[in-house]
């Protein structure tokens, strides 16, 4: 049972990491011709707190998270619903680290290598910091369905559905989103944007 909890905690950490790492910001408002009119401008620095539920095939996990994104540096902490730290992750280009609650530690060159090692498949971490902000990441084609409610963004085979937003000092930011890929679903509820 403990081994299964560790594996689940690690998978939750890696999935959350994917959902919470690497670049930009945005929210929901009135219908618009393009996503930039619907969302606050992306930011290279943000801090968010919230909850996540992730499913890969038949396995599922849930956790609270705190994610700090500062340019090319990210740190993510996953906490169980009862308040126990599950894992801490941090890194920047060239080195990423995962520390589990049991004290074990892993290091990889990049987030994708860490997700491949932990999950057996690669999570496209390079786009997640943009997606959480309601923006496509640069470098690959994307399609935004901005006339629909909820707004939908499609990129790299992923579908990101933005179902709610909260008002912040810089404008609206996403507060509820679902990221889907075959066999994978990650639901995020962002309670606080800073």
What backbone phi and psi angles, to 5 degrees, belong to 51?
-130, 150
Q: What is the pLDDT of residue 25?
A: 31
Q: Out of 8-22, 33-47, 55-69, 166-180, which region has the weakest mean confidence (pLDDT)?
A: 8-22
Collapsed DSSP state (helix, strand, coil) of residue 107 = strand
Please determine, for residue 141, whether its predicted confidence score (pLDDT) is greater than 90: yes
Contact yes or no for 49/63 (Cβ under 8 A): no
- Residue 48 burial by CB count (10 A; 0-12/13-18/19+): exposed, middle or buried? buried
Q: Domain count for the chain, please give it.
A: 1
Q: Quick one: average pLDDT of 72-90?
A: 89
CATH number of residue 153's parent domain: 2.50.20.10
Please determine, for residue 176, whether its predicted confidence score (pLDDT) is greater than 90: yes
User: CA-to-CA distance for 87 and 9, rounded, in angstroms?
Assistant: 7
- Alpha helices (H) along the chain: 2-19, 35-38, 111-119, 125-131
Average pLDDT, the chain: 79
User: CA-to-CA distance for 144 and 166, rounded, in angstroms?
Assistant: 20
Contact yes or no for 184/55 (Cβ under 8 A): yes
Q: Which domain holds residue 11?
A: 2-193
Q: Quick one: average pLDDT of 105-133?
A: 79
- Under the banding of pLDDT at 50, 70 and 90, the label for residue 123 is low
User: CA-to-CA distance for 38 and 20, rounded, in angstroms?
Assistant: 21
Residues 6+ apart with CB under 8 A from 95: 107, 108, 109
Residue 144 vs residues 16, 56, 127, 173: alpha-carbon distances, Å: 23, 25, 15, 16
Q: What is the pLDDT of residue 18?
A: 47
- Under the banding of pLDDT at 50, 70 and 90, the label for residue 72 is confident
Long-range contacts, stretch 151-156, CB < 8 angstroms, 24+ apart: 151/28, 151/35, 151/38, 153/35, 155/127, 155/131, 156/124, 156/127
């Amino acid at each position: 049972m403990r081994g299964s909890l560790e594996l689940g905690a690690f998978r939750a950490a890696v999935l959350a990491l994917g959902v919470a790492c690497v670049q930009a910001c945005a929210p929901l408002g009135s219908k618009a011709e393009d996503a930039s009119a619907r969302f606050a401008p992306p930011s290279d620095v943000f801090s968010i707190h919230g909850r996540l539920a992730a499913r890969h095939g038949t396995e599922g996990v849930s956790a609270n998270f705190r994610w700090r994104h500062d340019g090319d540096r990210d740190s993510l902490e996953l906490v169980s619903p009862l308040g126990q730290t599950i894992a801490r992750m941090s890194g920047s280009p060239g080195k990423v680290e995962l520390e589990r609650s049991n004290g074990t530690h892993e290091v990889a060159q990049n987030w994708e290598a860490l997700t491949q090692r932990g999950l057996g498949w690669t999570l496209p971490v390079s786009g997640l910091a943009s997606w959480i902000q309601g923006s496509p990441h640069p470098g690959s084609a994307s399609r935004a369905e901005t006339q629909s409610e909820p707004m939908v963004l499609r990129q790299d085979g992923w579908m990101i559905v933005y179902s709610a937003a909260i008002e912040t000092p810089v404008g609206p930011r996403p507060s509820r989103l679902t990221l889907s890929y075959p066999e994978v679903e990650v639901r995020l509820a962002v309670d606080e944007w800073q």
